[in-house]
């Protein structure tokens, strides 16, 4: 029987302490520049206590709450992605000697203390599974693999979805079902803690857990129900591949492109987007050079450039690539949609384009699979 | 675990200037073990890295059919390939690869082979011709069809002349616009198809070149009774990683670097020629 118990609010500070003692470096949500993003945690006081959020298409604002809750907000612009698939990373370094010989050295990071991420939401756990499939199956990516190895996940059930969230329709939330080491469900006076792995059991065993009372169970069920009911948006089905590819000439692509700025905000906040480009940065001395990769997007011109042609020169083609990949081809590539319903691309789109609305219009008539 | 992101040093053994500004480099990995172990299938490519400049995908070929070492034939078009044009024997490059899926040469055995190319030379197709000529008894007729926009664009004229002399081999050329004295056909490459003698039921067709040309050719072949499943083509997309990670080479659900660059026509027929993919 896996460990399951109640942790009083005042005892949560022991969680990062236990993790530090177990050798982990802790990261978690922090308020920075007006948004909740993941950063290094030195203590539980770094978490966003009494912070709430307001999200709508093209709108994000934090506010104060009357209570002490730590996780009473929906996901901010970045979750775990940038910690594993880093925005910029050296792939190799090369050196040329006086005879013109070349020497190569891997850029993949030295073994560091493993990370423990506190406060990962269900949508981000689902996104992590997709990034794992992309970066670890087939040809393992050395940098991603090193950072992913030993990652300890403390998940948190979403109790306060934003207006832009629709993880219930994609089947990815708001509660955390699997894929974590520990899961927390926040109540007024503390947390229901649930271990999901052996590493999680070991950490949970060191926390002062109490039995979970009947009232606490009921409160959790109510919050979970309310979090589902609060979600107003939905995709028109779990598998839209055929409907999208049958509608490549739909007039809506043109209409949405008239609003779309091709700014790539959606792909950079999306927790499953994996595109990146390479860049060579030679040192001024002419003897060494670095080969880097950095996040890129199918909304840029360079993404589809081959000599003499830009395959997606126009915005309708770029928006169509994003949606047909995210909600379509992903099924062929990784066996499910590439959207986990986090709503980030809606909140962070400067003109408030909502992919659930676009997909609904383009796939009208298409049902679930 | 091997690091897919670590080039290996290679030395240029020989440089050959080909037609126009095109040049070939015969290469060997400098590590003797790696050199001995290096093997590629026709149609695969390497990521070729020039120190301090960058890396580009280039098909792996042999300079001469009988060579033991691999080579690259490069057309200087932009930043990296133009800088590579300065390379000489003795210079060093970084090599990652070979990557991707090559031509279905074993499947093609026992029947006729049709090679269709367009535009300015086509390195992946040259390896097919080399392979068929080197293993002549395993294949039926060899038909090579090349189309160019203007008759002046035809490079490798000598190579075509040589292939024309090879046993059971037919070379057919077409130019959209032809200068007086052009001995090939005038028109699109599909105008050659009526002259091409091959067994429509059992030939294997391998194509590379501009996509509109490949789409038109594949459709016409299917109309002529060639089964779509006997047509293969090589595709090009922007490539950064060649490891199936960077996402640039995606063609609908396919990663060209990993699932291609050679595709079975039925796999890609749906999106081939659709603007934006
Ligand atoms: C599988 C494959 C095999 C190829 N084989 C050959 C060959 O045998 N010989 C040859 O001369 N060329 C070949 N090419 C094309 C060659 O890769 C491009 O000409 C080269 O990348 C252009 O780089 P550049 O920096 O000189 O040009 P620029 O126009 O300055 O391009 C800038 C960057 O865009 C990308 N890019 C541009 N064109 C292409 C392209 N066609 N394909 C992929 N990425 C591109 C590269 O990252 C390039 O560095 C092949 C391409 C592919 C995909
Ligand atoms: S497509 Fe939008 S809602 Fe879906 S996972 Fe990406 S950012 Fe979140
Ligand atoms: S192609 Fe576009 S939608 Fe797909 S992973 Fe890349 S950036 Fe994201
Ligand atoms: S070249 Fe990067 S995914 Fe194919």
CATH of B8-99, one of 2.40.37.10, 3.30.70.270, 2.60.120.560, 2.40.30.10: 2.40.30.10
- Cβ < 6 A, ligand 1 pocket: A 305-307; B 45, 54, 56-59, 73-75, 77-82, 123, 236, 238-239, 261
CA of B57 to the centre of ligand 1 (A): 6
Q: Determine whether the interchain pair B248/A303 forms a contact, defined as Cβ–Cβ distance below 8 Å.
A: yes
- Do B8-99 and B105-268 agree at the fold level? no
CA distance B203 to chain A (A): 31
Rounded CA-CA distance B194/A174 in Å is 63
| Structure confidence by residue, pLDDT tens digits, A237-281 | 999 999 999 999 999 999 999 999 999 999 999 999 999 999 999
Rounded CA-CA distance A229/B252 in Å is 35
pLDDT at A367: 46
Rounded CA-CA distance A40/A194 in Å is 23
pLDDT at A368: 44
Determine the length of chain A. Answer: 369
Residue nearest to atom 3 of ligand 2 (CA): A343
Domain boundaries, chain B: 8-99, 105-268
Least confident span in A280-294, B26-40, B138-152: B138-152
Local confidence band at B151 (pLDDT 50, 70, 90 cut-offs): confident
A239 Cβ closer than 6 Å to some ligand 3 atom: no
| Structure confidence by residue, pLDDT tens digits, A178-232 | 999 999 999 999 999 999 999 999 999 999 999 999 999 999 999 999 999 999 9
Interface of B with A in 75-114 (CB under 8 A): 77-78, 90-94
**Tokens (6 digits) for B188:** 């699109």
CA distance A133 to chain B (A): 11
pLDDT at A243: 97
Indicate the pairing of strand B204-208 with strand B231-234: parallel
Determine the length of chain B. Answer: 277
Indicate the pairing of strand B185-186 with strand B169-177: parallel
| Structure confidence by residue, pLDDT tens digits, B105-135 | 999 999 999 999 987 767 888 889 999 999 9
Local confidence band at B68 (pLDDT 50, 70, 90 cut-offs): confident
Q: Determine whether the interchain pair A102/B9 forms a contact, defined as Cβ–Cβ distance below 8 Å.
A: yes
Q: What is the mean pLDDT of residues B57-81?
A: 91
pLDDT at A207: 96
Q: Determine whether the interchain pair B248/A329 forms a contact, defined as Cβ–Cβ distance below 8 Å.
A: no
CA distance B243 to chain A (A): 6
Domain boundaries, chain A: 4-86+110-229, 241-276+295-363
Closest atom of ligand 2 to CA, residue A338: 5
Helix (H) or strand (E) holding A32: strand A25-32
Collect all residues of chain B within an 8 Å Cβ-Cβ radius of residue A102. Answer: 7, 9, 51, 92-94
For testing contact with chain B, the best of A84, A86, A92 (most B CBs within 10 A)? A92
| Contact between A211 and A193 (Cβ < 8 Å) | no
What percent of chain B shows pLDDT beyond 90? 78
Q: What is the ipTM of this complex?
A: 0.94
CA distance A281 to chain B (A): 7
Q: Determine whether the interchain pair B252/A293 forms a contact, defined as Cβ–Cβ distance below 8 Å.
A: no
| Contact between B239 and B248 (Cβ < 8 Å) | yes
Domain B105-268 has CATH 3.40.50.720: no
Residue nearest to atom 6 of ligand 3 (CA): A275
Indicate the pairing of strand B204-208 with strand B23-29: unpaired
Residue nearest to atom 5 of ligand 3 (CA): A273
DSSP state of A287: S
pLDDT at B7: 97
CA angle at residue A353 from A350 to A356, to 5 degrees? Answer: 145
Q: Which residue from B85, B65, B88 is spatially nearest to B20, judged by alpha carbons?
A: B85
A213 touches chain B (CB under 8 A): no
Residue nearest to atom 8 of ligand 2 (CA): A342
Q: Determine whether the interchain pair B241/A293 forms a contact, defined as Cβ–Cβ distance below 8 Å.
A: yes
B248 Cβ closer than 6 Å to some ligand 4 atom: yes
- Which residues of chain A have a pLDDT value below 70? 1, 111, 365-369
B5 touches chain A (CB under 8 A): yes
């Amino acid at each position: 029987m896996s460990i399951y118990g109640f942790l009083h609010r005042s005892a949560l500070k022991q969680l990062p302490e236990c993790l530090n003692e177990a050798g982990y470096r802790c990261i978690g949500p922090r308020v920075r520049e007006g948004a909740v993003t993941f950063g290094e945690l030195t203590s539980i006081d770094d978490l966003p206590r009494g912070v709430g959020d307001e999200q709508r298409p093209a709108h994000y604002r934090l506010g104060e709450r009357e209570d002490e809750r730590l996780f009473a907000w929906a996901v901010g612009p970045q979750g775990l992605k940038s910690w594993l698939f880093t925005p910029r990373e050296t792939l190799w370094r090369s050196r040329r000697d006086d005879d013109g010989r070349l020497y190569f050295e891997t850029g993949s990071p030295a073994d560091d203390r493993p990370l423990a991420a506190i406060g990962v939401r269900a949508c981000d756990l689902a996104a992590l599974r997709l990034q794992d499939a992309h970066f670890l199956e087939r040809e393992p990516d050395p940098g991603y693999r090193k950072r992913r190895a030993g990652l300890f996940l403390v998940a948190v059930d979403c109790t306060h979805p934003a207006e832009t969230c629709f993880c219930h329709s994609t089947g990815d939330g708001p509660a955390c079902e699997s894929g974590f080491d520990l899961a927390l469900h926040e109540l007024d006076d503390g947390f229901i803690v649930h271990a999901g792995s052996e590493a999680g059991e070991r950490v949970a065993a060191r926390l002062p857990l109490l039995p979970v009372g009947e009232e606490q169970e009921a409160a959790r069920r109510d919050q979970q129900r309310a979090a589902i009911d609060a979600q107003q948006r939905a995709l028109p089905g779990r598998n839209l591949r055929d409907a999208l590819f049958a509608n490549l000439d739909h007039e809506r692509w043109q209409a949405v492109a008239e609003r779309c700025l091709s700014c790539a905000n959606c792909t950079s906040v999306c927790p499953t987007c994996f595109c990146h480009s390479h860049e060579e940065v030679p040192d001024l001395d002419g003897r060494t050079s670095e080969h880097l990769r950095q996040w890129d997007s199918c909304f840029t011109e360079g993404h589809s450039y081959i000599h003499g042609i830009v395959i997606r020169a126009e915005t309708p083609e770029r928006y169509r690539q994003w949606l047909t990949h995210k909600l379509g081809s992903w099924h062929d590539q990784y066996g499910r949609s590439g959207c986990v319903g986090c709503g980030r691309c809606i909140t962070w789109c400067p003109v408030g384009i909502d992919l659930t609305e676009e997909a609904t219009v383009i796939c009208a008539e298409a049902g679930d699979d | 675990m091997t690091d897919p992101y670590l080039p290996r040093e290679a030395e240029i053994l020989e440089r050959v200037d080909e037609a126009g500004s095109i040049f070939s480099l015969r290469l060997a990995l400098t590590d003797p073990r790696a050199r001995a172990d290096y093997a590629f299938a026709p149609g695969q490519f390497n990521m070729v890295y020039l120190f301090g400049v960058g890396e580009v995908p280039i098909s792996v070929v042999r300079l001469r059919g009988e060579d033991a070492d691999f080579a690259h034939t490069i057309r200087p078009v932009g930043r990296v390939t133009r800088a590579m044009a300065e390379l000489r024997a003795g210079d060093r490059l970084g090599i990652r690869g070979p990557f991707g899926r090559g031509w279905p040469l074993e499947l093609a055995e026992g029947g006729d082979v049709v090679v269709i190319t367009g535009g300015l030379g086509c390195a992946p197709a040259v390896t097919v011709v080399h392979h068929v000529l080197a293993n002549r008894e395993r294949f039926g007729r060899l038909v090579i069809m090349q189309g160019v926009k203007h008759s002046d664009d035809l490079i490798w004229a000598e190579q075509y002349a040589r292939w024309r002399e090879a046993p059971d081999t037919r070379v057919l050329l077409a130019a959209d616009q032809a200068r007086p004295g052009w001995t090939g056909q005038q028109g699109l490459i599909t105008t050659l198809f009526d002259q091409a003698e091959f067994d429509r039921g059992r030939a294997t067709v391998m194509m590379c070149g501009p996509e509109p040309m490949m789409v038109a050719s594949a459709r016409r072949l299917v109309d002529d009774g060639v089964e779509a499943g006997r047509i293969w083509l090589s595709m090009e997309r922007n490539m950064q990683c060649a490891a199936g990670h960077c996402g640039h080479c995606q063609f609908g659900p396919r990663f060209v670097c990993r699932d291609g660059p050679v595709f079975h026509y039925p796999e890609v027929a749906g999106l081939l020629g659709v603007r934006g993919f």
